[in-house]
Amino acid sequence: MPLTNRRNQYQSPFSERYASTEMCYIFSDQYKFSTWRKLWIALAEAQQELGLPSITSDQINEMRRFQDTINFDVAREYEKKLRHDVMSHIYAYGEQCPKARAIIHLGATSAYVQDNTDLIQMKAGLYIILAKLINTIKILSHQAMKYKTLATLSFTHFQPAQPTTLGKRICLWIQDYVLDVEELEMRISHLRFHGVKGTTGTQASFMSLFHNDTEKVKRLDELVTRKMGFESSYPVTGQTYPRKVDSQIMFCLAGIAESAHKFSNDMRLLQHLKEVEEPFEEEQIGSSAMAYKRNPMRCERIAALARYVLCNCLNPAFTAASQWFERTLDDSANKRISVPEAFLAIDGILNIVLNVASGFNVYSSAIHRHLVDEIPFMITENILMEAVNAGGDRQAVHESIRKHAMEAASRMKEEGNTNDLLVRILQDPLFSRIRPKIKEISDPIKLVGRAPQQTEEFITQVIDPLLHRHNHLIDKKLIPALYV
């Protein structure tokens, strides 16, 4: 019995759960084959403009009428017989456009519609990703300024270290995304069109069509490139545009995955510490068994999808490395999976990052409690210096602090006590002269160095100009995924 119900067939989690409607549309059949038809129309228009007598306005107008009305069933039946997707759609388009049937795809090879469409899809996808990155940076910059003076423990090796502020830590996340924006801007600005290059990139078929008029063939390439929204095309190609382009773009997307994975890992660790927590809905269930659980499932999902992108970027790299001469077809099946899914995955990742960044909860009492537990150890050198400056013997003061610190640490670990190191020091006659200063020394905000100023400088000097440059993308309507 045929499986006609879509619920009886595998559905991609990217389109079902993670990626936005807008990104799914860019890699949909409708978008793809409408773009093929736009390319055939642009080619015919340019050929007519350059004086090709066999192409008429009636033919082009007929092609335009059916540009977006794809007869998918007809194309599918043709492909069963022809075993060639481009020819199947040429025939299907020709059935709808009998006047234009003879001039559809004139002089072109399959890569003309396939490769140019791939580049158009990637360009559109990169702009969606850029918009989401810019909005992520904007949201996180507000959070950084909000918490620029909230002292918190730093961690090196996930061991408590000299305090920083939560705002400064958020700036570290933002900086990764800024580097991603810079890479993305470069990839978008360098992305070119495949253009009108013919079967092996020599434009021989178009030279024949225009009776060896080199200038007209060059102009044909330029006209179609501009009609399809690109400033320039790759100057030399084989049958396809350089597959290295896919690899470069996928590694750019992998860089975003790296940043998001790092952000999600930090958030998961902070949630374990009960200092910062990702959004948790009123009726959300953390565990089917453990009703009290508030698992960081959004950040775990970011990490899971990021891992996929980081591994997937090797597919286009191997494809670029293994192309033979002007082309081989072993890129096709791999490319039609690895490239769209990388875009869908990054789109899904950024949907969740936007959600987490705009709604995470900060528990300042827990943050302060962890500081109170660790700061007495961190300020022992400051206490030592103050005691010596007040006339104390450096070696005697050092030994006293060492003994108090060892005893306090032992009771914390073995008995579960709070850190009473400062109490011990305050009660020790050796430190009587500096008792009034110990409270000032132990103020967390006095221990964060220039973290608040660094945060302000980073936001005003780096982030504000970046956001101003991309002001048209800020607060742009970003269609969310179903599950964030």
132 closest CA partner among 481, 436, 367, 438: 481
Determine contact, residues 309/253, Cβ cutoff 8 Å. Answer: yes
Rounded to 5, what percent of the chain is helix, strand, coil? 70, 5, 30
Nearest 5 degrees, angle CA 326-CA 332-CA 335?
Answer: 110
Helix (H, G, I), strand (E, B) or coil at 159: strand
Specify the pairing of strand 361-362 against strand 159-165: unpaired
Distance CA 67, CA 416 (A): 73
Distance CA 300, CA 215 (A): 56
Half-sphere exposure of 365 (CA within 13 A, CB side): 0
**Structural tokens at position 112:** 């003309």
How would you class 196 by CB atoms within 10 Å of its CB: exposed for 0-12, middle for 13-18, buried for 19 or more? Answer: buried
Q: Which residues are catalytic?
A: 157, 287
Determine contact, residues 335/258, Cβ cutoff 8 Å. Answer: no
Distance CA 43, CA 37 (A): 10
24 closest CA partner among 483, 484, 480: 480
DSSP state of 472: G
Determine contact, residues 39/220, Cβ cutoff 8 Å. Answer: no
**Structural tokens at position 319:** 């494809």
